[in-house]
Amino acid sequence: MQASRASDRLLQIYLGVFLVYLFLPLVIMAAATFNTSRFPTVTPWLGTTTRWFEALYNDAGMWVALENSFIIGFFVILVSVPLGVAAAVVLNGVHARARSLLYAVMVSPLLTPGVIIGISTLVFWDRLGVKGGLHLAVIGQSSFITAYVMLMVLARLQRFDTSLEEAALDLGASHGQVFRRILAPHLKPAILSGAVLAFFQSFENYNTTLFTRGTDTTLTIYIASKVRTGLTPAVNALGLILILVTVVGAVAYEVMRRRESARERAALRNAERADMEALQIA
Amino acid sequence: MSELFRRYGTGMTLTMLAGVAVWVLAMVVLPYFVMVEYSFHPNLTVVEMGGPKDHYTLENYAALFRGVDLLHWDFPDDFRVFLRTMWGASLVTFICLLVCYPVAFYLAKVATPERTAFLLLILVIPFWINEILRTFSWYILLAYSGPLNIVLKALGIIDAPVRWLSGSAGVLIGMTYAFLLFMMFPLYNALETLDRNQIEAARDLGAPTWRIHWRVVIPHAKPGIAVGCIMVFVLAASSYVVPALLGSPGTRWFTETIYSWFFEAQNWPLGSAYAFILLGLCVAFILLMMRLFRVGLTDIAK
């Protein structure tokens, strides 16, 4: 027992060091935003300022890049969410052998390096006469983001009671009604979180966008090019803002997911209780 | 398939099938095929395409290996970059595994459930933060007159500041940091399913700690190790931003070579061939891991 406690202690110390390692770089990057030094650093500290936020605000290039990222993100949701839902439903409805092959093809973009997705999209559309630009970035990103949405919807579909659809059809519901009134409401949480994830993945994408963007600039491309040419703490200011937005977004997303699963468990408990009561009455 | 038609009717099923076809064919399968086909063509102008000079060739693939001289251990530039990428990505993968294993073990088997839940939430945060920002933070940290050199000098570990960003060190450090958590979560997921009693039993039977890990914990973590290694290797081998930000001309990565063939030399067929070679490297690594650790594709996609 003695040995085990000593090793647990060691593990705890290691964990502490690990957490410092994980967060200190981000803290230093954020802190450098407030240094008056023209080169972003914390050593030496030349004085505290907020003027880099102002510099960022006045940078027209940043606003263009931000707008482009939003446009791409919006269209990626528009493309990948319907395709992801359709893919999950189709995958769930085909025979086992076809399913495993189709599944392998569908998840393959998740294992494919982003640069290669970008290159293959670029070459393919170039041969059809389509040049790079925001539209091509949307297509390239959607090719793998659809797979994420598909997986999320598929996970939700597997907890779907198909006899509900049977019952509706038997009671004379139309196919459209079955889809709209039974399947869609069941899938709604997965569709919503899929859309959030799709936007996020698109917004932070670099590798695929790099090859498909043509001459357009997204926010990630903007940051990377600023670091190499014309780096000032304005980039840190942008980083700090993005980190804050991300953290708030991530926490909200986690809370949403947990609340959703809690609600589901509660619903399940109620259903079980109702079943028990029904049995007792019978 | 008939099941789908029965449930959702002809119109809706056909719409869904069309959507799937668009995604799978036009966005996934055909672009790969076209890229690969393109890579077997010589680099021609638009006018020359389809003309007498347009024939299939292995030239673009041979280009990577031309001038390799094993006898004198002499390699041409592109091949050297390829070797560096392969070796660097492997090294980053291994370092990530070493760094993450104790933390994953602590989270899965030592900490109380409440503590683990809290720590996982904390660990997810950098996971959500953009790879470029995580890389950029090391750009500041590793700068010549940056905080790391000053701290190390103050502690007396180094005498003079180190130029981290002009050797491979910066790239390796940055990649380890950027992709670490892709190792952490698969490892944690695998270790979580290990029964604590197995560890206790081994301990009661007198096994020393290292042996418990070697014979009980690590074998159980195999699927997680495989998935984590695949994730980190593929990300590292195909990373563009980390070498671009933290590297120098002397630490070029294969993705940078591909990019310059595309957009600086305007040789798309050669760029495509190199991209296919990079894909081949990743697939080879994935297959190796799947064979080595006996895991399937469904385990990975999780």
Q: Chain A residues with CB inside 8 Å of B245's CB?
A: 224, 227-228
The ipTM estimated for the assembled molecules is 0.89
For the whole model, what pTM was predicted? Answer: 0.88
Interface test with B, best of A120, A197, A232 (most B CBs within 10 A): A120
Average pLDDT score, chain A? 89
- Rounded alpha-carbon distances, angstroms, from residue B213 to A144, B180, B203, B249: 37, 21, 11, 42
**A250 within domain boundaries:** yes
User: Per-residue b/e over B31-60, b at no fewer than 16 CB within 10 Å?
Assistant: bbebbbebbbbbeeeeeeeeeeeeeeeebb
Strand partners, B74: B69
**A14 within domain boundaries:** no
Q: Is A206 in Cβ contact with B132 (below 8 Å)?
A: yes
Question: What pLDDT score does B241 carry?
Answer: 93
Looking at the complex, report in whole angstroms how far the Cα of residue A207 sits from the nearest Cα belonging to chain B: 7
**Do A53 and A72 lie in a common domain?**
no
Q: Is B241 in Cβ contact with A206 (below 8 Å)?
A: yes
**A3 within domain boundaries:** no
Q: Chain A residues with CB inside 8 Å of B278's CB?
A: 113, 115-116
Domain holding B179: CATH number? 1.10.3720.10
Q: Which of A236, A238, A252, A222 is nearest to A27 (CA)?
A: A236
**A19 within domain boundaries:** no
Q: Measured between CB atoms, which of A32, A126, A220 is closest to B132?
A: A220
Q: Which of B91, B94, B95, B119 is nearest to B105 (CA)?
A: B119
**Do A49 and A85 lie in a common domain?**
no
Question: What pLDDT score does B48 carry?
Answer: 79
The number of domains in chain B is 1
**A266 within domain boundaries:** yes
Domain coverage including residue A96? 64-231
User: Per-residue b/e over A88-125, b at no fewer than 16 CB within 10 Å?
Assistant: bbbbbbbeeeeeeebbeebbbbbbbbbbbbbbbbbbbb
CB B216 within 8 A of CB B199: yes
Q: Which long-range contacts (CB under 8 A, 24 or more apart) does A159-165 make?
A: A160/A186, A160/A187, A165/B7
Token duo for residue B265 = 């030399």
**A20 within domain boundaries:** no
**Do A216 and A244 lie in a common domain?**
no
**Do A198 and A267 lie in a common domain?**
no
For residue range B91-117, list pLDDT tens digits in order.
Answer: 999 999 999 999 999 999 888 888 998
**A12 within domain boundaries:** no
**B40 within domain boundaries:** no
Q: Is B17 in Cβ contact with A114 (below 8 Å)?
A: no
**B271 within domain boundaries:** yes
Q: Is A106 in Cβ contact with B31 (below 8 Å)?
A: no
Question: What pLDDT score does A282 carry?
Answer: 64
**B287 within domain boundaries:** yes
**Do A187 and A167 lie in a common domain?**
yes
CA angle A38, A43, A45 (to 5 degrees): 70
**Do A112 and A213 lie in a common domain?**
yes
What single-letter amino acid sits at A275?
D
For residue range A138-188, list pLDDT tens digits in order.
Answer: 999 999 999 999 999 999 988 888 888 888 888 888 888 888 888 888 899
Closest chain B residue to the Cα of A125, Cα to Cα: B31
Q: Chain B residues with CB inside 8 Å of A169's CB?
A: 6-7
Domain holding A138: CATH number? 1.10.3720.10
Q: Residue range B152-161: average pLDDT? A: 88
Strand partners, B69: B74
Chain A 73-92, residues with CB within 8 Å of chain B CB atoms: 82-83, 86-87, 89-90
For residue range B55-78, list pLDDT tens digits in order.
Answer: 888 889 988 888 788 877 778 889
In degrees and rounded to multiples of 5, residue B69 shows phi and psi of: -125, 95
Q: Is A165 in Cβ contact with B150 (below 8 Å)?
A: no
Q: Is the pLDDT of residue B33 over 90?
A: yes
**Do A146 and A250 lie in a common domain?**
no
Q: Chain A residues with CB inside 8 Å of B3's CB?
A: 93
Chain A 99-128, residues with CB within 8 Å of chain B CB atoms: 102-117, 119-124, 126-127
**B263 within domain boundaries:** yes
**Do A216 and A269 lie in a common domain?**
no
Closest chain B residue to the Cα of A118, Cα to Cα: B31
CB B241 within 8 A of CB B132: yes
pLDDT bin (cut points 50, 70, 90) of residue A62 is: very high
Question: What pLDDT score does B300 carry?
Answer: 61
The number of domains in chain A is 2
For residue range B176-231, list pLDDT tens digits in order.
Answer: 999 999 999 999 999 999 988 898 899 899 888 889 899 999 999 999 999 999 99
Question: What pLDDT score does A1 carry?
Answer: 47
If you count residue pairs, one on A and one on B, with CB atoms under 8 Å apart, how many are there?
236
Chain B interface includes A211 (CB < 8 A): yes
Question: What pLDDT score does B126 carry?
Answer: 83
Chain B interface includes A11 (CB < 8 A): yes
Question: What pLDDT score does A36 carry?
Answer: 86
**Do A191 and A136 lie in a common domain?**
yes
How far apart CA A262 and CA B284 sit, in angstroms, is 42
**Do A82 and A194 lie in a common domain?**
yes
Chain B interface includes A59 (CB < 8 A): no
Q: Chain B residues with CB inside 8 Å of A86's CB?
A: 15-17, 19-20
**Do A217 and A83 lie in a common domain?**
yes
**Do A132 and A224 lie in a common domain?**
yes
**A7 within domain boundaries:** no
Chain B interface includes A160 (CB < 8 A): no
Domain coverage including residue B158? 66-301
